[in-house]
């Protein structure tokens, strides 16, 4: 639950989300709200305030939203970043963590309505730019089975609030994907000429496609069908380039590359960015660079990894996101991803941590996971 001031800010954020993603937001409007939210969080969150003071950036010093100190995602593992009492949180999401020994990040949401408004508007704008009403078929287990997972929560909200008739989850925490039920559903929708939208992690899709290939099974989903995948292959031995996955979607499911939308989201944020491709396709624009777009209420900054100042245009650096919907935690988050600005969006170019050493010294991630295996 938010306090009164928080509720007032929340209503403004919800109103912004309600405008959708089509109309750009003036920088002055974004800036004013971002700085008010920053001040709101600064007053209520001790660790964040301490972090900002150490950098000499209190609400009095910050003249523009780009100067708001961004909290690294690693911080969510160490301290509680919440603008209020933890007990008042309506939801808490936790990062998965690649090893058991690793502490998990925690994101407390005092109010889920701003989060819901942001995720619904973003999905509508980037995955359903044609306003299609589609059955959503989820390869993510139902939210109540994974209460820690922001992705499961998000997909559950989408299935419930956006999904047309026939929307359902085809995965279970214990049993994984129900291949037979999913296949039956895909055949049914194909026969009925009803386009659908598949949702899942890239890893879940990858394994499912492997099984389809092994069984010699393939689908040709009706035109207008699409697929949203998310997440890379962090900490996994097997890495599959996005292009390879895309051609497998085309080959085995019949969803063309134009209709594959990769979502870029994380536990520590409330809004999501998405591939621009489907939006471009719907607008009849071709030849634009592959890139991700953030909704108007979230902005992207690229920080120079050497100085942590805003990087020069076009440079590769650490991605920072200023997300107005992150109202009850921290409005500015520094990710562990490298990327750069491209046209009106950005690209993600890999992880900023555990850069592989150049030879016989040891990669931190690998070493930690090896130790984990021994336990």
> By the criterion CB under 8 A, which residues form the site for another protein?
47, 50-51, 54, 72, 74-75, 77-79, 237, 305-308, 316-318, 334, 336, 338, 350-364, 366-368, 370-371, 374-375
Q: What is the nearest approach in angstroms of another protein to the Cβ of residue 333?
A: 12
- Rounded to whole angstroms, the Cα distance separating 307 from 311 reads 9
Q: Which is nearer to another protein, 285 or 349 (CB)?
A: 349
Q: Return the CA Rg of the chain.
A: 21
Q: What is the nearest approach in angstroms of another protein to the Cβ of residue 357?
A: 6
* Helices 112-126 and 4-18: angle between axes, nearest 10 degrees: 10
Collapse the DSSP code of 94 into the 3-class scheme (helix H, G, I; strand E, B; otherwise coil) and give the result: strand
Q: Which is nearer to another protein, 67 or 336 (CB)?
A: 336
Q: Which is nearer to another protein, 18 or 363 (CB)?
A: 363
Q: What is the nearest approach in angstroms of another protein to the Cβ of residue 99?
A: 12
- Rounded to whole angstroms, the Cα distance separating 265 from 171 reads 21
Q: Which two tokens stand for residue 337?
A: 């991803």
Q: Which is nearer to another protein, 223 or 367 (CB)?
A: 367
Q: Which two tokens stand for residue 364?
A: 């931190």
Nearest to 188 by CA among 214, 165, 215: 165
Q: Which is nearer to another protein, 181 or 310 (CB)?
A: 310
Q: Which is nearer to another protein, 23 or 374 (CB)?
A: 374
Q: What is the nearest approach in angstroms of another protein to the Cβ of residue 228?
A: 27
Contacts of 149 (CB under 8 A, 6+ apart): 93, 94, 96, 140, 143
Q: Which is nearer to another protein, 184 or 363 (CB)?
A: 363
Q: Which two tokens stand for residue 160?
A: 């419930």
- The CA distances from residue 361 to 33, 235, 366, in Å, are 47, 18, 11
- The CA distances from residue 13 to 116, 243, 299, in Å, are 11, 36, 14
Q: Phi first, then psi: what are they for 346, rounded to 5°?
A: -150, 165
Q: What is the nearest approach in angstroms of another protein to the Cβ of residue 86?
A: 14
Q: What is the nearest approach in angstroms of another protein to the Cβ of residue 75?
A: 4
Q: What is the nearest approach in angstroms of another protein to the Cβ of residue 358?
A: 4
Q: What is the nearest approach in angstroms of another protein to the Cβ of residue 322?
A: 17
Angle, alpha carbons 118-120-123 (nearest 5°): 105
* 374 contacts 346 by C-beta, under 8 angstroms: no
Nearest to 5 by CA among 37, 30, 28, 35: 37
Q: Which is nearer to another protein, 149 or 335 (CB)?
A: 335
């Amino acid at each position: 639950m938010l306090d009164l001031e928080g509720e007032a800010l929340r209503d403004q954020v919800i109103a912004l989300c309600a405008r959708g993603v089509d109309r750009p937001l003036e920088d002055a409007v974004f800036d004013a709200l971002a700085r008010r939210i920053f001040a709101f969080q600064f007053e209520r969150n001790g660790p964040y305030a301490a972090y900002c003071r150490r950098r000499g950036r209190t609400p009095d010093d910050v003249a523009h939203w780009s100067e708001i100190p961004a909290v690294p995602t690693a911080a969510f593992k160490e301290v509680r970043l919440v603008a209020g009492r933890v007990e008042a949180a309506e939801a808490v999401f936790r990062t998965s963590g690649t090893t058991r020994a690793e502490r998990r990040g925690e994101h407390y949401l005092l109010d889920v309505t701003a989060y819901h408004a942001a995720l619904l508007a973003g999905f509508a704008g980037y995955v359903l730019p044609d306003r299609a009403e589609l059955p959503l078929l989820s390869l993510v287990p139902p939210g109540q089975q994974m209460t820690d997972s922001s992705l499961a929560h998000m997909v559950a909200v989408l299935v419930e609030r956006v999904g047309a008739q026939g929307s359902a989850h085809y995965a279970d925490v214990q049993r994984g994907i129900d291949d037979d039920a999913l296949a039956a559903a895909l055949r049914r929708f194909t026969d009925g000429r009803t386009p659908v939208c598949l949702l899942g992690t890239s890893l879940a899709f990858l394994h499912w496609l492997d099984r389809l290939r092994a069984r010699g099974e393939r689908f040709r989903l009706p035109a207008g069908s699409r697929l949203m995948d998310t997440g890379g292959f962090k900490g996994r031995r097997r890495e599959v380039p996005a292009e390879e996955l895309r051609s497998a979607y085309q080959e085995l499911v019949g969803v063309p590359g134009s209709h594959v939308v990769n979502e870029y989201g994380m536990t520590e944020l409330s809004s999501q960015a998405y591939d621009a491709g489907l939006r471009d396709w719907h607008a009849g624009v071709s030849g634009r660079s592959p890139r991700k777009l953030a909704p108007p209420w979230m902005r992207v900054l690229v920080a120079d990894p050497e100085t942590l100042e805003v990087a020069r245009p076009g440079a590769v650096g650490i991605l920072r996101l200023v997300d107005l919907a992150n109202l009850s935690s921290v409005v500015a988050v520094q990710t562990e991803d490298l990327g750069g600005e491209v046209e009106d969006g950005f690209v993600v170019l890999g992880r900023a941590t555990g850069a592989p050493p150049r030879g016989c010294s040891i990669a931190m991630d690998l070493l930690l996971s090896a130790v984990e295996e021994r336990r």
